[in-house]
Every structure is written in structure tokens, then in C-alpha cells.
A and B are shown apart, each in its own frame.
Chain A
Amino acid sequence: MPVEIDIAKVAKLARLALNDEQLASYGEQLGAILEHAERVQAMATDDVEPTSHPLAMTNSFRADVVIPSLDRDEVLSQAPDSVEGQFAVPRILE
């Protein structure tokens, strides 16, 4: 059985402004893919530890030395909008 999902909610969480037609189409496709993905539930049992990463490593430290950062003007030249040396976005607070 295809999995039923609240696709509008998922799209909102993912910050994707999709129209109703797109939502319906993606919802159907995801349902079919998740039907396949559900097979993992039949396989794994709770006593198996999850693997989040192929390397068994803890913290990775580097020497605490100052290195040059990227050039601010060069970085901002690639931004859609910038003001006073900073990235600019539409107003958040009234």
C-alpha cells in the first residue's frame, strides 16, 4: 500500500512553495517510494545499533590558529542582495 502523507505539511517544513497540482503529484510519487522504503521496517530490529557514519570517530580538533577568512566583498558579490557589508533579506520585524 502506498504510504499516506500530509504532503502540504512536508512542503512547508522543507520551505518549498509548491502549488496544489505539484503537491498532488509529489504526494503520489512519495507514497510509492515510501512503500518500497517501508521494507526496512521488516528487516531491522531494535537491538541493532544505528550507523550514522561509516567512520567511528569522536571529536575532530585542529590547531587553534588564525587563518585568513574569505574576502568579504568577494563573498557578498555573489549574494542576491547585501547592505552595509552584510547579507540582506526582506524585512523580518515590523
Chain B
Amino acid sequence: MSDLADLSITSAHELLDSGETSSSELLDAVLKRAGITESHLHAYLTIDKAGAAEAAARADERIAAGDGAQMTGIPIALKDNMVTKGVETTCSSKILSGWIPPYDGTAVSRLKEVDAVTVGKTNLDEFAMGSSTENSAYGVTRNPWDTERVPGGSSGGSAAVVAAGSAFAALGSDTGGSVRQPAALCGVVGLKPTYGLVSRYGLIAFASSLDQIGPITRSVEDAVVVLEAIAGHDVMDATSYRGAVPDFRAGLSAGVAGLRVGVAAELLRDDMQPEVLAATRKMVDQLSDAGAAVRQVSLPSVEYALSAYYLIAPAEASANLARFDGVRYGLRVDGETTEEMMARTRAEGFGPEVIRRILLGTYALSAGYYDAFYGQAQRVRTLVRRDFAAAYENVDVLVSPTSPTTAFSVGEKSTDPIAMYYSDVCTIPSNLSGDPAISVPIGLDDAGLPIGFQVMAPSLGEPVLFQAAAEIERLADFTARPRLATSEVT
């Protein structure tokens, strides 16, 4: 397997730096791969061949001038809820079909500043609401390991292209696990940074107090490289973190000797897939053998995190999605009055899961129910944060499975919202707390599907998060590749 499309960013950067390859060649390799895999996966909604070719040419000039950064010339994909100037952005919704944004989001413009190469826009669950990428108005994305199965979601397209080799990395967004869970199901690395570390300007808002952009990559170090390019304060996002960005590389080769690793019983539940539990426990043992001090911790309120999340996220979504009303962009369905036009546009333009969550959020925020539902959910959020704070007095990081199961079949959970919501039981707590978390692939289940292992750290604890994740990556030595990324498929 010597295809350029399968290289890590760090390896590709070395080849670019030494002149052994060019950005245009890297782009050709991922486009060639996409030409093979896309008919099976449908992971891209838009491939911007012309824009990417121009960007690759610019990158090659910059590298030739000796001015290349780590991300310069690297082909990357963007989840289609990040606005891109001049390139259609749909959020996988009919309501934004054909919308050409007049500006770039900050994460996008920061990648452009270093001349990273945007290949295209990836499929997602409409407005990032879902855990399978089945809730897209433009069709289901499939898992490169088994095309009868989902890639996870909502950043399923981003995870699938990175696993398949049709991009070197991708940006996703994580509101309740939407980067980490698809990364786990597709056997790649997925990071949700500390809330506020990456600007949300130009990320079409789902739940503003939970949303965070994060990289999906094929190695832990690649996640660091992408994060370095996009992190840092932005005046265009009032919730963007104003302090200095930590040194993400500080612990990358430090190992875990003496590191205190917490295991919470609440995140290792008997109703999880046995192979996932076994792989998780095996990795905990390996960490212990590598010198980590493994401790049992308790996060009692995590039991209620899922319920709180499914009030808070829809409540914020119902407010954020009010802007889609047929006035300024996207779809309009005519009506006699403005209100009728808006109500028809929204009923026609939004898919069922989005409507379900708007209704849920509207109800939870409405007079008479606000305190019983939304207020109580916010109090549970406080309890979750207290549990994490108490745990971090005794441990440096927490670990768990990323997802209770490996990739499930297309259609398996699409008619049962509550079963689908349970996919995020291990990932949601970090969104409620605002803390960083990462998923690292550690093995395969009996069906040959990847298993993800989650590491969590306190806010701005990315250095220790990456320290643990890098060692887990070494211990797991996960080298399996999906069938679709190998020469067996043409």
C-alpha cells in the first residue's frame, strides 16, 4: 500500500518539504480515490475540483518558495455546515439547497491562510442532528468498512472520507459526539477541542453552548497539526477563548508513566456491545502496564446527561433555526401572508428529525414548561460539571468507550429516535462540561468493524489529552484499513 492518498499529514508534509511530491499530486491521489469510493460511500456532497486545483497550485508555489506550513498543500474536506465563500453550503438540508455563502467561516479561512487545499464538502445529518448520517436530504453516507452500515454521525461524511483516503483530514463539528462517534465507527481519530478553542464563526449553529469544530484525522499527531492551524481567539465569535493556546505537542512523546487515568463505571455499562467493553478494558490494562495509575472514579450525574442534553440541545436549536424562514436565503414556499410563507417554508424545508427537535425545543422553552424541562436540564448540566471537576482532583484524564456499539446497519435505528440518541451516551457529557475529548481507534470487533476509545481531559487540557491519546495509539498499533481504501475495490 504505497498510495499517496493513504499517507498521514505529517508524512505527506515531509514529502512536500523535500520536493518528493507536490500538492497537486496529493490532490490527484485523493480525487482518484474519491473516483473509486464515492459511488459506494456518497460521503461528499460537493467536490470542488477547480477550486482545489487552484489551491494546490498556490500551495506548490508557496512550498517552492520555502514558506510552507504543516498544513500547506494538504487536501482536506469540510463538513457541509461550515460556510465556504462561493461554494454551495447546504447543512444537508433542503432549506439551504443551492445557497452560495458570501463569506468563509473562521476555521475555513485559517486553513486557506496556510494554503491547505479544500477538496469539498461532506455529508452530515441535517443541521448536524443525528448519529448516523441517515438524516440527510441528499442521501445516506455509508461506512467504508462495510457499506451496509452507517458511518456514524453527524459528521459521517467527514469520517468516511478520512477513512477511505479521499481526504487527508476533515473538519467536523461536535455538539453531542458528532466528531468522536463517527470517527470511532470509521476507525479514525476524532477530536472535540475545549469549548471556545476553535471559533464557531461560520459554523451554522445547532446548539451554541455545545457546538465545537474539531478535526478528523488518521493519526493523533495529525489531529494536533489541524488543531494548531484552526485554534485561537477570533473577534467574530464572542464565545471564543481569549487566552493563550496551550502547547498541544508538550506531551506527545511523554508516555503515560505516572499519569493518573480514571475509569468511570457509569461509562462502562453492561448494555454496551461486549467486544467494545472487552477492548476498552484491555486498553485500560495496557495503560496500566505502561505505567499509568488507573483509578476508579464515579460520575453519578452522567446517568442523567443524555436526558438533559435532549432538552438543552433542541432548545438552543429551536432558537438558532428560527433564522431559516424563507426571507434571506434558501428555500421559500409561497403563502398569502408572511407568517404563512414562513411556516410553509419551514415545514417543507426541514426534515423529520429537525422538525422533531425544533418542536421539542420550542415546547421545553415555552411558558409553563421552561423551568420543569429547560431549567432542570441546565441544573443537571451543573451537576455533570461538578462530577467532572471532582474526578479531575484525583485523575489527569478519564477514559471510556467512544460509542456503546460499533457501526450499526443502515435503517437499524432510524425509526427509533431514543435508541439513536443512546449512541451518544459516552460523548455527550464532555459537551455539557465543555471539556476536550478524543476518540482513538484501538481494534476491530468480531465483524471486522473498528472500535473507538475515548479520552477526556479538563478544559484546556489538550496537552495531557494528546499525551494519553498518543500512547494509546502506540499501544493499540491499529493498522487495519477499510476494504474500500485498498486495491481490492475498483
Contacts and interface: CB of A to CB of B under 8 A. Distances in A.
A74 interface: yes
A54 B373 contact: no
Nearest to A32: B418
Contact of A55 (B360, B432, B434): B434
Nearest to A14: B362
A92 B340 CA distance: 11
Contacts of B330: 78, 80
B355 A16 contact: yes
Contacts of A89: 327, 338, 341
Given A16-B347, A45-B379, 16 more contacts: A13-B366, A15-B325, A17-B340, A18-B347, A26-B359, A29-B417, A34-B363, A36-B306, A40-B304, A50-B379, A54-B195, A54-B434, A55-B239, A74-B102, A77-B100, A91-B338
Interface string B300-320: 010010111011000000100
Given A41-B376, A49-B379, A26 B331 contact: no
B193 to A, nearest CB: 12
A26 B362 CA distance: 13
Interface of B: 99-103, 195-196, 209, 235, 238-239, 241-242, 301, 304, 306-308, 310-311, 318, 322, 325-332, 334-344, 346-347, 350, 355-356, 358-360, 362-364, 366, 372-373, 375-383, 385, 417-418, 432-434, 459
Contacts of B307: 36-40
A45 B375 CA distance: 10
A40 B326 CA distance: 36
Contact of A71 (B102, B308, B335): B102
B161 to A, nearest CB: 27
B372 A50 contact: no
A17 B328 contact: no
Contacts, number: 170
B383 A16 contact: no
Contact of B359 (A7, A40, A51): A7
Contacts of B311: 37, 40
B332 A33 contact: no
A52 B359 contact: no
A79 B327 contact: yes
A83 interface: no
A87 B329 CA distance: 10
Contacts of B338: 89-92
A10 B239 contact: no
A15 B359 contact: no
A30 B359 contact: yes
Contacts of A87: 327-328
